[in-house]
Amino acid sequence: MESHPVESTTPVYTLSTTCMLSGIPVHSIRQYIDKGLIIPFRKESNRNLFSQTDVLRLKYVHRLLNDDGLNIAGIRSVLALIPCWSIRKCSEAERTKCQAYNSSTFPCWEASEKGTLCKNTNCRECEVYRIVENYPDVKSFLKTIIH
């Protein structure tokens, strides 16, 4: 029977496997989830699953903390700089109501009040959330949109 390769975004790893693959302790991964730095895929059983791109994201966060000297609040502020309103082309009216647009201390996916575009989007699948999986850091992404 032909085997199909697993997509890099498919959540297949348990917490302990993710710990092994990333080299990041379980308690740290749990902390990153609690602080909104990573959104795991949650099964109906409430167990978290992770994908290969989640592993990359975890390593990025871990590097910011351990090599670059940021703390959790600092990382949240860095992620808050991603211009989600521009990427998703939110209207002026949507921006004024959106907590993500108006805050600089947490990433947009942590906002409790969002514009209509975001209300019906799964943040885990969103291009904004996934930027750090596709660029080595937030600044590298900003360079592609601001000249």
User: Which residues bind to ligand SF4, rule: CB under 6 A?
Assistant: 84, 88, 100, 108-109, 111, 114, 118, 121, 123, 126, 128-129
Bridge partners (DSSP) listed for residue 13: 50
Write the secondary structure of 45-90 as one string of H (helix), E (strand) and C (coil): CCCEEECHHHHHHHHHHHHHHHCCCCCHHHHHHHHHCCCHHHHCCC
- Minimum CB–partner distance for residue 28 and ligand SF4 (Å): 22
Tell me how far apart the alpha carbons of residues 72 and 13 are, in angstroms, rounded to a whole number. 24
- Minimum CB–partner distance for residue 98 and ligand SF4 (Å): 8
Residue number with CB closer to ligand SF4 (20 or 127): 127
- Minimum CB–partner distance for residue 87 and ligand SF4 (Å): 7
Residue number with CB closer to ligand SF4 (25 or 42): 42
